Structure 1
Amino acid sequence: MERVLTLFVAALMVYMAPGIQGTEHLSFANNTQVSNFTRQSCGVTELCVETPDDCDPAGNSSCLFAAINASIPMAPNGTDLAIKLSGESMGYIGLGLTVNSSEGSTMLFICAQNSSSNGTFFFRTMQRNNVNTTDALTPSERTVTEIRGWVKDKMIRCEFNIPDVNATSTRSSHATTFTILLGTGTFDGNTLSPFNVSLDSGPLNLRDPTSNVVTTTSGRAPTSAANAVLLLLSVLSLSVML
């Protein structure tokens, strides 16, 4: 039987106590739909990361995809992020934000389904140890708003907003460069497994939708055709001079 469950929460402070109970998830509102997940705004208004490269969540169910829209101008205490996350898992998909993926910790935002409870959707905020990556995830208190979720078989899609995101602890100095991690994990009805990273984006400016777009620079090496034209011009110039 097709399972489609949705969730809408207007504003929520998410807190996980040690020992997650799989049935203690957020309340539901049926027939609430998430937005269309496409690449249409990637590199324009949204910073997109995905694996495999350039996959489109609109037509590829195996595409693990995230789109981030950062507020402009900067909010008083940091930037506000609107995030779309899509991928396949019988447990959870997750998006992590970290300053350095090999040091410190990662803020981890998890969209999951409890397959032992008819595939019900739930959302969690956790913290990952970037040094000991096999350690269990730990509870993290972080304000998250406008949470919407959708589950169908293995497919999980969710949207949520994260207010006041700042890569520095100094509120007078706003920084929006983070490494984005995408990955998955399992859920046994009680415990979330360690986060299995599928994509490490490296440092990206979240306020710049083009920060991971490869552009062609004017300083690139000339092509073979360009070299031939330059050689011809130099020969002609020499002939005129003679």
Structure 2
Amino acid sequence: MTVVLIEMEGGLIVFTAALLLFLSPDVQGTAHLSFSNNTQVNITRDGCGVSKLCVETPDNCDPSGNSCLFASAVSSVPVSPNGVDLTVELSGESAGYIAVGLTANASEGTSMLVICAQNSSDNGKFLFRTMQRNNTNNMLTPTETRVKEIRGMVNGNMIKCEFMVPNVNASNFRSSEDTTFFVLLGNGSFEGGVFGAFNVLFSSKSLDLTKPGSNVPTTTAAPTTMPNNSGALQPHAVLLLLSVLTLSVLLRV
């Protein structure tokens, strides 16, 4: 069902296969990808808002530290009608799993959910899954998603992973071709081979994944000149007043 090419380089395991996951609900606990933790994954804020789109909770937290749930996305150039290839970084703390979701509507319809987890029943090995989330009742259903270049690690409760999802297009969720999504971040439990409910800890506004700065606040520059109707005397008015005063003094003399 799934072919994984594992290449050993200097003791690190590098996953370069394209994975096609098809998981039915009745095999949810066993049909997943579980890897060793030898892969090193380094996730930072470098490039946020410039070369990659970043979301996190709490605001501006550091993914290299603790108590930060962070995700970034780098998009390829859109190719109609295929959408974009999306390279994602995900980092956070959980005794179960962390996940990032993309959806066209955060309150209805479905989300594409990508899960990075630790398998406590298998010595805390890194575990990878894709799910479909019902945004109305939070039901998780295994789904078929093509994912490439998966790398992940678990250190205590810290989980970090990187992966690439080809051909991401919101037309899968609505009628028009688009690269605009709401991004969800959250976590959940993983016990006895079963993924618990997805706890949404962050939900973005609608973001264009092809624009790294689409969630960077914009500021409005203060005006450099006073408006003419502000009540303040303008330079030409001051000159006219001085002329009148000078003429008045001359007439009195």
Structure 1 vs Structure 2: percent identity of aligned residues? 57
1:110 is aligned to 2:110: no
The amino acid of 1:96's aligned partner reads G
Once residues 27 and 166 of structure 1 are traced to their aligned partners in structure 2, the CA distance between those partners, rounded to angstroms, is 27
Contact 1:13-1:141 within 8 A present in 2 as well: yes
CA contact (8 A) 1:67 1:83 kept: yes
Q: TM-score scaled by structure 1?
A: 0.84
Deviation at 1:165, TM superposition (A): 0.6
With structure 2 as the length reference, what TM-score do the two structures score? 0.81
Say what the alpha-carbon RMSD is for the aligned residues. 2.8
Higher CA-based Rg: 2
Contact 2:20 2:147 in 1 (8 A): yes
SS at match of 2:237: helix
Asked if structure 1 preserves the Cα contact closer than 8 Å seen for 2:56 and 2:71, the reply is yes
Match of 1:50 in 2: 56
- In structure 2, how many angstroms separate the alpha carbons of the residues matched to 1:6 and 1:233? 71
Q: Which residue of 1 aligns with 2:245?
A: none
Matching residue of 1:142: 145
Q: Distance in 1 between matches of 2:61 and 2:142?
A: 32
SS of alignment partner, residue 152 of structure 2: strand
Aligned equivalents of 2:176, 2:106: Cα separation in 1: 22
Match of 1:160 in 2: 163
* Cα separation, 2, equivalents of 1:174 and 1:152: 39
Q: Does 1:39 align with 2:45?
A: yes
Distance 1:6 1:24, change over 3 A: farther
- In the comparison of the two structures, how many residue pairs are matched? 229
Structure 2 unpaired stretches of 5+: 1-11, 242-253
2 CA distance for matches of 1:212 and 1:121?
Answer: 30
Moved over 6 A (4+): 230-233
1:26 paired with 2:33, answer yes
The 3-state SS of whatever aligns with 1:198 is: strand
Larger RCO (CA under 8 A, 6+ residues apart): 1
Deviation at 1:195, TM superposition (A): 0.5
Distance 1:173 1:232, change over 3 A: closer
Post-superposition CA distance 1:125-161 (Å, at most 9, x none): 001111112x3x1111110111101000000000000
2:20 counterpart letter in structure 1: M
